[in-house]
Every structure is written in structure tokens, then in C-alpha cells.
């Protein structure tokens, strides 16, 4: 599966989870299960280059990312400002860990660039939650579209770095 498809799925299933969670839909647990499967798929996608342990580590970090996203969404839904602040802080710390992990695996990745990109992803996700809570459907759709484009760019950066690090695997 292409890296772009994996990251498009990431934002698509995240959006689906946000919709299901905020509307208290019956499919919430099934959507979450699919979203978590996507995190495994992303982790598996790096195993041919970085090995089993690294792929599993990325999966763990990404599943933590999703767990925290759910806690941020629930706190926003319930207007719990203390939990929102607490989980949002942890969510950004998780983005730091992901950026640090990826940049330590590949010298072609700038930790600062990856961190900034992940922060922007968190902003787009937060903006979707806020737009849905405010029933601003056009802003919700617009933010999703921007976030999807952004994650395609993120996927391209990851692939470019892997190609530079392992050029023999791409001849």
C-alpha cells in the first residue's frame, strides 16, 4: 500500500471517528477499530526499511496519538476545559515523540520539520472538531480537505527520506 494512501486513510478514518464520537453514533467502536488498524498499517509500512521493532514502535506511538485524539475530542464535546488542556498537552508531546523517533531513524528527516508538520496536523484535526461542535459544516469540510492535502505532503516527505536513505531498494 502506498504511503500516501495510508496517510489519506489516517485523516479519513480520524474524521469518521470524530463524526461518530461527537454524534454518539453506534459505529464509533467499529470506526475506532478501523482507525487503529490504519496505525498498524503505517507502522508495518516502515518495517522493510527499519525492521520489526521500529515498525512496532511507530505503531505504538500512532495508537497513542489516536487515543489522545479521542480524549481531546471527548473533552471538547463535554466542555471539560481541564481535561482538554491536559490531553491536548499530551497530544502535542506525542507528536514530539513521533517526530523524534522518525528523525532518529532517518538522517534525511528534520525533527523540527516533522514536529511542525505534525503540529499542523493536530491543528487541522482540532479545527474539524471545533467546526463540528459549532455546526459550521463548511468550515469542517474545508479543514478536512486542507488536512488531507497536508498529510499527502507529509507522506511524500517520508517517502523521499526513505528513498534517499535506501536508494538501492528503489532501482
Q: Which of 76, 162, 157 is nearest to 115 (CA)?
A: 157
Q: Is residue 162's pLDDT more than 90?
A: yes
Q: Which of 19, 28, 20, 90 is nearest to 61 (CA)?
A: 90
Task: Give tens-digit pLDDT for 34-80.
Answer: 999 999 999 999 999 999 999 999 999 999 999 999 999 999 999 99
Question: What span, in angstroms and rounded, lies between the C-alpha atoms of 73 and 5?
Answer: 24
Question: What span, in angstroms and rounded, lies between the C-alpha atoms of 33 and 28?
Answer: 9
Confidence of residue 171 (pLDDT cuts 50, 70, 90): confident
Burial pattern 29-56, b for ≥16 Cβ within 10 A else e, equals eebbeebbebbbbbbbbbeeebeeebbe
Q: What pLDDT, on the 0 to 100 scale, is given for residue 104?
A: 97
Task: Give tens-digit pLDDT for 125-142.
Answer: 999 999 999 999 999 999
Joined together, the cell numbers standing for residue 118 give 505534525
Amino acid at each position: 500500500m502506498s504511503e500516501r494512501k495510508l496517510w489519506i486513510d489516517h485523516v479519513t478514518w480520524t474524521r469518521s471517528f470524530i463524526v461518530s464520537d461527537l454524534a454518539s453514533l453506534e459505529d464509533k467502536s467499529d470506526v475506532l477499530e478501523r482507525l487503529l488498524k490504519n496505525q498498524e498499517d503505517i507502522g508495518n509500512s516502515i518495517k522493510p526499511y527499519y525492521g520489526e521493532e521500529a515498525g512496532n514502535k511507530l505503531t505504538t506511538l500512532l495508537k497513542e496519538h489516536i487515543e489522545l485524539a479521542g480524549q481531546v475530542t471527548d473533552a471538547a464535546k463535554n466542555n471539560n476545559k481541564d481535561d482538554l488542556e491536559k490531553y491536548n498537552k499530551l497530544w502535542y508531546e506525542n507528536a514530539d515523540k513521533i517526530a523524534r523517533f522518525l528523525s532518529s531513524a532517518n538522517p534525511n528527516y528534520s525533527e523540527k520539520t516533522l514536529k511542525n508538520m505534525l503540529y499542523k496536523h493536530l491543528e487541522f484535526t482540532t479545527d474539524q472538531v471545533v467546526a463540528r461542535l459549532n455546526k459550521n459544516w463548511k468550515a469542517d469540510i474545508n479543514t478536512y480537505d486542507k488536512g488531507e492535502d497536508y498529510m499527502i505532503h507529509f507522506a511524500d516527505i517520508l517517502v523521499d527520506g526513505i528513498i534517499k536513505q535506501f536508494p538501492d531498494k528503489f532501482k
